[in-house]
Amino acid sequence: MDVTVETARELGLTADEYANIVQALGRTPSYTELGIYSVMWSEHCSYKNSILQLKTLPRTSARMLVAMGEENAGVIDVGDGYGVAFKIESHNHPSAVEPFQGAATGVGGILRDIFTMGARPIAALNSLRFGEPDSERTKYLIKGVVHGIGHYGNCFGVPTVAGEVYFDRCYTDNPLVNAMAVGVVRADRMASATAEGPGNPVFIMGSSTGRDGIHGASLLASREFDDETENMRPTVQVGDPFAEKLLLEASLELIEAGVVVGMQDMGAAGISCSTSEMSAKGGVGMTINLDKVPLREADMSAYEIMLSESQERMLVVVQKGREAEAAAICEKWDVPFVQIGEVTEDPHVTVYRHGSLVARVPAISLVLGGEAPVYVREQREPEYLQLTRKPVDNGPTLHQAECTGILKKLLAAPTIASKRWIYEQYDSQVGTNTVIRADGDAAVLRIKELPGKAVAVTTDCNSRYVYLNPHKGGMIAVAEAARNVVCTGALPVAVTNCLNFGNPYDPEVYWQFAEAVRGMGDACRALDTPVTGGNVSFHNESQQHAVYPTPTIGMLGLIDDVDTVVGSSFPASGLAVVLLGTQRADLGGSEYLHTMKERIYGDAPYFDMDEELRLQQLTLQAIRDGLVTNAHDVSEGGLLVALAEMTFGSGVGIDVSISTEHTAGFLFGESQSRIIVGVDVQHVDELRRRCETSRVDVDVIGTTGGSRFVVRNLVDEDVSDLRNVWEGSLPAILSTSIAQV
């Protein structure tokens, strides 16, 4: 067919981008070539609207074995010759169109990013955002997404150990499904996504190629939702976790055998992406014969084969002369392994179909860091901030009946309520590495290869804070993620991020994005937690509105002695209940405002980076030294909700007194940098002394014991009654019994 600028526009390219393609090739592109450019220059693959902001993030550390953007996932040195690979990515748009397969293939894709590095996955996590849960669309989406995540992870055999779920009206049409994975790798066995050595054979390994997922990157993940979205189901990939399990084992054995020159999974943009990125990185090219690619449908065109995003596939460059050895390994695991081309000195990706040349493109012209377009977008502070920037009244003094009623409403609020009905659909124990699972502040996993060592992992972001103040909200997202791993006894060491925003061509959205990235960078530098990689997902919006700006943080923490790990629940009676950090009355952006006033306004809650650092350092050392029995940070719902949550795991009650004014601002406000700990009575004086030295406020507010939740003059309820409110809310709203899951 004739290719024109109109053809380019239909594929998501601009007129200027089409002109640049013509210039790069020195001629009019073929339809297949234009398709390759359309996916490789899509927002999803090229980061053309975000890369300049991402480059401002801290990206170096003595612990980093792989720098940001160098490989499929970041890798952190954990000592003794081992590294931990971890990464988070989005699968928002596919999950909105087909929630089960969208979420399932999101899990599959992030797992491949881990094991293509040579790392064996040990954990999966997620961060989910939905609309109000009483809407029929939300019920449909959440059940499909949760089923998809559980199905893929459980069948593949990786524990899903942690996550977060938020509910806000802005996510009704456009849910967010962010998937994270963690793996362990020997530092001397890491594989690279690099093609080298002209003459080396190029193989496709894994599942056959079909028509599923064509233009998933360019026409689904790089556009907003409209009335045509429901018709885009064919652009959603279909996953097979059992095939991926075999692909994992074959990949790791190939790497261990030393036959692999380079390896990359086929995710967004499929063969187009893996061939061009591996070639460009190695400064070489590839010749590809599409007649050799195993197909599900024989009549597929070159365009369809190059753009297919069929799952469970790898592109592997093998050392010449060791093809038979590699093939034997794949045959052992019953994984298809077919040579489709070879590496060339000529730095072009050259593609043939039915004996004819269908594409010849300079690899460097396609990729991020090469000649893919890079844009500086206009920024403008959003007008809505003029409406939300209002002082928030902290309310009158609360009495017992009123305070108890508010506490119960907050415990039942979907964002705060127990997510047990979700995480019990996930196998969190397979692999027997899990020390603390989804009901802790962070999940903790043993590193079996390094006895005594463990990692703590979490995902965090309160998008309401980012909506009200993107810079401060971005800082808080990083700080809370670090605080959560600290509450287990882990040292925060590195970050992966998934940046979910609206249309980057909207100056107000781009201002949100730039400010949030600036805040994240400031916090990462202060905490010495470099960004190892991640994902940007733009165009998260419907015809009515964009989602809240949601920079999800995946945090990795290291633990040298797994025996020092603590959970969040009070483990016994007779402990002192101690509040670390400064109490402030601050309802800005709080769940209290959302639940009780049905509004979100004010500033993001109080946050001071120096206070946060002192608090985290103090808490971490106290846990390591055995002064603390359990720890839980104060976040959504404020102080009273945090205290209640700490009683639910064990059923051990508390009797505490709050010394501040008994207003909603103090009791339910979400000012940052606060942690509640349980302390053996004999250690209280030592903890006080350390707090004074560290300039961290400390308040011994009560003791543990009995089965009642008592806050003097404010609440006096049985722990089990409050727990029933907390656990029963979400299943009731979704008409789902916990027993059913």
- Strands, E, within 511-651: which ranges? 531-537, 550-559, 576-580, 630-633
Query: Bigger pLDDT: 671 or 219?
Result: 671
Contact, 564 vs 624, CB < 8 A?
yes
Q: Is residue 311 part of a domain?
A: yes
Mean pLDDT computed over every residue of the chain: 95
- 160-167/285-289 β-pairing: unpaired
Residues whose CB is less than 8 angstroms from the CB of residue 438 and which lie 6 or more positions away in sequence, other chains included: 160, 161, 162, 163, 419, 423, 426, 428
Q: Which of 374, 407, 429 is the last residue of a domain?
A: 374
Q: pLDDT for 197-217, tens place per residue?
A: 999 999 999 999 999 888 876
DSSP assignment string, 184-225: EEEGGG---S---STT-EEEEEESPB-STTTTIIIIITTS--
The per-residue pLDDT for 227 is 52
Q: How confident is the model at residue 739 (pLDDT cuts 50, 70, 90)?
A: very low
Q: What percent of the chain has pLDDT over 70?
A: 96
**Tens of pLDDT along 104-159?**
999 999 999 999 999 999 999 999 999 999 999 999 999 999 999 999 999 999 99
Residue 474 lies in a domain: no
pLDDT over 90 percentage in the chain: 90
pLDDT (0 to 100) of residue 216: 72
| DSSP structure class, residue 66 | E
Predicted confidence (pLDDT) at residue 20 exceeds the cutoff of 50 = yes
CA dist 16 → 9, 12, 19, 22 (Å): 10, 12, 5, 10
3-class secondary structure, 607: coil
**Whole-angstrom distance, CA of residue 225 vs CA of residue 203:** 37
- What is the distance between the alpha carbons of residues 510 and 49, in angstroms, rounded to a whole number? 9
* Residue 341 domain-assigned (yes or no): yes
463, amino acid identity: S
Among 374, 406, 431, which residue terminates a domain?
374
357 forms beta bridges with 352
What is the domain count for the chain?
2
Per-residue pLDDT band for 429 (boundaries 50, 70, 90) equals confident
- What is the Cα–Cα distance from 118 to 207, expressed in whole angstroms? 19
Q: Judge whether 726 lies within some domain.
A: yes
| Beta-sheet pairing, 698-704 with 576-580 | antiparallel
pLDDT of 259 over the 80 cut: yes
User: Which sequence positions are flagged as catalytic?
Assistant: 44, 91
Q: Give the confidence band of 638 by pLDDT, cuts at 50, 70, 90.
A: very high
Residue length, the chain? 741
Q: Which residue is it, tokens 């290719």? A: 3
Return the H-helix or E-strand segment holding 480: helix 470-486
Distances in Å between the alpha carbon of 429 and those of 48, 382, 569? Answer: 40, 45, 19
Query: 343, 374, 405: which is the final residue of a domain?
Result: 374
Q: Which residues are registered as beta bridge partners of 459?
A: 554
The identity of residue 446, as a single letter, is: R
C-alpha to C-alpha distance for 551 and 516, rounded to whole angstroms: 7
Alpha carbon 445 to chain centroid distance?
17
Strand partners, 179: 89, 126
Whether residue 313 contacts residue 209, with contact meaning beta carbons closer than 8 Å, is answered with yes
Residue whose token pair is 């093609």: 195
Inform me whether the pLDDT recorded for 225 exceeds 60.
Answer: no
Does residue 731 fall inside a structural domain? yes
**Is 340 within a domain?**
yes
DSSP 678-709: EE-GGGHHHHHHHHHHHT--EEEEEEE-SSEE
CA-based diameter of the chain, in Å? 84
User: Does position 219 have pLDDT exceeding 80, yes or no?
Assistant: no
Task: Round to whole Å and give the CA distance between 361 and 72.
Answer: 23
DSSP assignment letter at 589: T
Average pLDDT over residues 624-640: 98
The two three-digit tokens of residue 118, written as one number: 């040579």
The parent domain of residue 588 ranges over 566-741
The CATH number linked to 309 is 3.90.650.10
Q: What is the 8-class DSSP label of residue 355?
A: T
Asked if residue 591 belongs to a domain, the reply is yes
- Residue 704 resides in a domain: yes
Taking the model in full, what pTM does it have? 0.95
Neighbouring-strand partners of residue 533: 496
**What CA–CA distance (Å, rounded) separates 484 from 457?**
9
Residue 432's Cβ-count burial label (10 Å; 0-12, 13-18, 19+) is exposed
CB distance 130 to 167 below 8 Å? yes
Q: Is a pLDDT exceeding 50 seen at residue 738?
A: no
Q: Tell me the HSE value of 582 on the side-chain side, using a 13 A CA sphere.
A: 15
